[in-house]
Amino acid sequence: MTQLQTVSNSSKALPRGIQLRRSRGWRKPPNTVVVTRASKRWGNPFVIGKPSEYGFVQDAQTAVDFYRRWLNSEKGRPVLEAARRELTGYNLACFCSLGAPCHRNVLLELVNNPPDEKLNSKSR
């Protein structure tokens, strides 16, 4: 049993990552918030192949690492605080594959940890 599967001593499931799909008939599961770049508020501002304040974003893992760093900075703090208030208890959906590096994983970690913990561990 992993942390993202169930809460210990409780039958309530923890929020999980959802991969959005465009296939016919697919529906977003209930209790799910879309966190794609198009969502503007929750999307990762670090774009692969573009320069950023932290350096060149060479791949998806770099974009996720920069996102984590940004959330822990003064500039990202308002997003971090809003995510803790508004995303707790919700599944988070993005188009990234579930096994691939994605900022959705950083947000899931964020909403499943106590507010005083910084997001220093790597999430893939």
Instruction: Count other C-beta atoms under 10 Å from residue 51's C-beta.
Output: 10
Is residue 36 one of the residues assigned to a domain?
yes
Is residue 124 one of the residues assigned to a domain?
no
Q: The dihedral of CA 21, 16, 53, 48: what is its sign?
A: negative
Is residue 6 one of the residues assigned to a domain?
no
Is residue 117 one of the residues assigned to a domain?
no
Residue type, 40: K
Half-sphere exposure of 77 (CA within 13 A, CB side): 4
Q: Is 0.95 topped by the overall pTM? A: no
Is residue 3 one of the residues assigned to a domain?
no
**pLDDT in single tens digits along all 124 residues of the chain:** 334 443 333 446 788 999 999 999 999 999 999 999 988 899 999 999 999 999 999 999 999 999 999 999 999 999 999 999 999 989 999 999 999 999 999 999 988 776 655 555 444 4
Is residue 78 one of the residues assigned to a domain?
yes
87 near 18, Cβ under 8 Å?
A: no
Domain tally, the chain: 1
Task: Assign 85 to helix, strand or coil.
Answer: helix
Q: Could you list the residue range(s) of the whole structural domain that residue 68 is in?
A: 17-111
Is residue 51 one of the residues assigned to a domain?
yes
Is residue 57 one of the residues assigned to a domain?
yes
